[in-house]
A and B are shown apart, each in its own frame.
Chain A
Amino acid sequence: MEQVAILNVDHLSGGYSRGKPVLHDISFEVGRGEMIGLIGLNGAGKSTTMKHILGLMTPQQGEIRIQGSTLAKETEQYRASLAFVPESPQLYEEMTVREHLEFTARAYNVSQADYEERSAHLIKLFNMGDKEDSLSMHLSKGMKQKVMIMCAFVAAPPLYVIDEPFLGLDPLGIRSLLDFMVQTKESGSSILLSSHILSTIENYCDRFIVLHKGKVIIQGTLEQIREQTGQQNVPLEQIFYDLVQDGL
């Protein structure tokens, strides 16, 4: 089936200094309603790729488009099209859980009625009912991560960029998140997800992009990757291990 791309990363090279790019000519797409797993070892360039997509870093070469718009030309449209869940929760200590959701909803121009409905659903789903009026500084790391996830989902943009979302989450939280990501994807939104827990995401992602030393070394569905590597009926984790071992 022909996918309509929500995110286009086209020949992206970039990094922290011009002479030493971290990313080398990366290209991939995320289609509408797709969940894509971005996988790689520590330092492979996953977070740097995400930072470029978020506009926190400027590409040295190449272009990134979300629904056709670029950050430089259509800043607000670009920003309104994506939500981000960082690896480490970053919350405002002076705001409660509910206020974080409200701040996000206000920023993303979510109507008050939609905000009420979505926040009630998310608070229940992530079992945060007794913490909604707590200041974020009083939450455990797992709870903070849940707030980050809820903030992204209350915004309901077309694209989610999610970096290592399972860190610190309890098993119920992981299940709730996975179920909600599936629902979100089925409703037409797209997810770019980075995780080291390959056995979990193997069953949830539609396609995978394997980054190694700043390059895309393989991408496709699990079946396509198996075909390309000649490893039938082998779990993703094993294929990934063989790929990066060979490339080390």
Chain B
Amino acid sequence: MNDLLKLRQQRQQAFWGEVLPYLRYVMQSGLAIVTFFLLIVFAAWYTTFLQNVPQGLPVHWILLILFTPLAIYGSVRTYMRTADIVFMLPLEVRMREYFAPAWRSSVIGKMIWLLILALVAFPFYVRADMNAKSLSLLVIVLIIAKLLGSYGSWQELRMNTAAARVGYRLLRYVLIIGLLAAFLWLPLMTALIAVVVIALVYIALLRIPGKASVPWERLIATEKNHAAGVMRLLGWFVDVPNGERKVSHRRWLSFVGNRVPWVPAKSFRFLVSKTLVRGELLPILIRFVIIGVVFVLITRESWFGIVVYLLFILLAGMQMTSLRKQHTDTLWLSIYPIPPESQRLETVKLITQTQVWITLLLWLPLASAGDPMRMILTFIAGLVAVWLYRRSLNRKWLKDIEAEAEFD
């Protein structure tokens, strides 16, 4: 316990030791082939696209949307555990030894992805913007944005009041978007001055609120969410144990599920509707749809747009399969007089209905482009994809039920 650096390494190894065996199954599920295929298709499309970049594209907006999520997102894997609040509390003054490598590896890891994105997007940037700034400057500004985002989100965790944490999170979003926007839109010198001023002001503002030396409970809760996130991602492909779930009240959505018919066979629908609107899946889906709409918008003029459209519909369905796994082990479903098949029927129905809405939302950017027949056929293809996904989900679920029954 005294060697904090070693302890973190052991925990990191233990976590990934648990995750890695699943990756083999993820690869076997066809992900590797699909990813490889998509990379080739994307490379082919992007090369063609770069040779003839359409005039009048909102290049600054597109780059801002591409860079912002990776620049803002500043999670740190601490691998902390619930018992730490008891056993590691006496070591509080030395916890910097534990957190420093965690912070470093997190920032470097995410920065690499951001820089890869920058390298991929740069050819588009220089072709679409006559006054594009140099790659080296773009990289430096992205590194500054990433460092600020990670430092800010870490300081937010330490803040004592919920109001300060929410306020500073918003401030982080606004300032980092502002910083990237200033770099993209303003002339070179003004842009650089703006970047430096924003960075200094942000660092100064972060010193104001009261902070805990080590925010034990928040760090543990955040770590649980991260671990659950990894498991959820794996859960798209293989059966993994349910992790801790993050829940938000979202009072404005409390009405969802209340109009479900008042009969035992539909009671599971009531529960799973609440799970959908209060769990982590909803914000994931919202972000996913926004990204999907942007991608469909960018690619809608070519055949690749249809591939992207169908791909996003299927990926949305895959994300929603986590709903299936969230209530597999709950005591009440074994005890309450709910028809056993209603869990499957109601979950699949909810996934399908949500997927149809997503199909419609993703179709909107397509609806204003191309000829009407192509538009309609694309939408029908989207609905067929939803139907096929529903069939496959149902079939797989029934197969699993049969396998469980045989095992019993």
The answer to whether A106 touches B274, judged by C-beta atoms less than 8 angstroms apart, is: no
| Residues in chain B near residue A95, CB distance under 8 A | 271, 274, 278
Cα A107 to Cα B339 with chains together (Å): 9
The answer to whether A55 touches B274, judged by C-beta atoms less than 8 angstroms apart, is: no
A137: Cβ under 8 A from any B Cβ: yes
Cα A102 to Cα B260 with chains together (Å): 11
Cα A102 to Cα B330 with chains together (Å): 17
- Nearest to A112 among chain B residues (CB) is B262
Tell me the chain A residues, 84-116 only, with Cβ under 8 Å from chain B.
Answer: 84, 86, 90, 92-96, 99, 102-104, 106-109, 112
The answer to whether B337 touches A108, judged by C-beta atoms less than 8 angstroms apart, is: yes
B259: Cβ under 8 A from any A Cβ: no
A79: Cβ under 8 A from any B Cβ: yes
The answer to whether B335 touches A55, judged by C-beta atoms less than 8 angstroms apart, is: yes
The answer to whether B264 touches A94, judged by C-beta atoms less than 8 angstroms apart, is: no
The answer to whether B330 touches A135, judged by C-beta atoms less than 8 angstroms apart, is: no
Tell me the chain B residues, 308-353 only, with Cβ under 8 Å from chain A.
Answer: 330-332, 334-340
Cα A97 to Cα B212 with chains together (Å): 32
A76: Cβ under 8 A from any B Cβ: yes
B249: Cβ under 8 A from any A Cβ: yes
| Residues in chain B near residue A137, CB distance under 8 A | 247
B404 to chain A, nearest CB (A): 14
The answer to whether A90 touches B330, judged by C-beta atoms less than 8 angstroms apart, is: yes
CB contact under 8 A between A99 and B335, given known A107-B264, A137-B247: no
Cα A95 to Cα B336 with chains together (Å): 16
Q: Considering only CB atoms and an 8 Å cut-off, how many residues of chain B contact the other chain?
A: 26
A80: Cβ under 8 A from any B Cβ: yes
Cα A137 to Cα B279 with chains together (Å): 13
A138 to chain B, nearest CB (A): 9
Q: Considering only CB atoms and an 8 Å cut-off, how many residues of chain A contact the other chain?
A: 27
B202 to chain A, nearest CB (A): 32
The answer to whether B247 touches A106, judged by C-beta atoms less than 8 angstroms apart, is: no
The answer to whether B331 touches A94, judged by C-beta atoms less than 8 angstroms apart, is: no
A164 to chain B, nearest CB (A): 15
- Nearest to B246 among chain A residues (CB) is A93
Candidates B267, B271, B334, B337; contact of A92 at CB < 8 Å: B271
B275: Cβ under 8 A from any A Cβ: yes
- Nearest to A108 among chain B residues (CB) is B337
| Residues in chain A near residue B339, CB distance under 8 A | 76
The answer to whether B247 touches A102, judged by C-beta atoms less than 8 angstroms apart, is: no
B252 to chain A, nearest CB (A): 13
The answer to whether A103 touches B245, judged by C-beta atoms less than 8 angstroms apart, is: no
Name, among A84, A94, A95, A135, the residue most crowded by chain B CB atoms within 10 Å (CB to CB).
A94
The answer to whether B274 touches A90, judged by C-beta atoms less than 8 angstroms apart, is: no
Tell me the chain B residues, 208-253 only, with Cβ under 8 Å from chain A.
Answer: 245, 247, 249
Tell me the chain B residues, 274-321 only, with Cβ under 8 Å from chain A.
Answer: 274-275, 278-279
The answer to whether B337 touches A106, judged by C-beta atoms less than 8 angstroms apart, is: no
Using a CB–CB distance below 8 Å, which chain B residues touch chain A?
245, 247, 249, 254, 260, 262-264, 266-267, 270-271, 274-275, 278-279, 330-332, 334-340
Using a CB–CB distance below 8 Å, which chain A residues touch chain B?
54-56, 75-76, 79-80, 82, 84, 86, 90, 92-96, 99, 102-104, 106-109, 112, 135, 137
12 A-B pairs (CB sep. < 8 Å): A79-B335, A86-B331, A90-B332, A92-B271, A92-B330, A93-B245, A95-B274, A95-B278, A102-B270, A103-B270, A108-B264, A109-B264
Given contact pairs A90-B332, A92-B332, A95-B274, a sample of 12 additional A-B residue pairs in the complex whose CB atoms are under 8 Å apart: A55-B334, A79-B337, A92-B275, A94-B279, A95-B271, A99-B274, A103-B271, A106-B266, A107-B337, A108-B264, A108-B337, A135-B249
Top 5 A-B residue pairs of the complex, sorted by shortest distance between their CB atoms: A106-B267, A79-B337, A94-B278, A80-B337, A107-B336
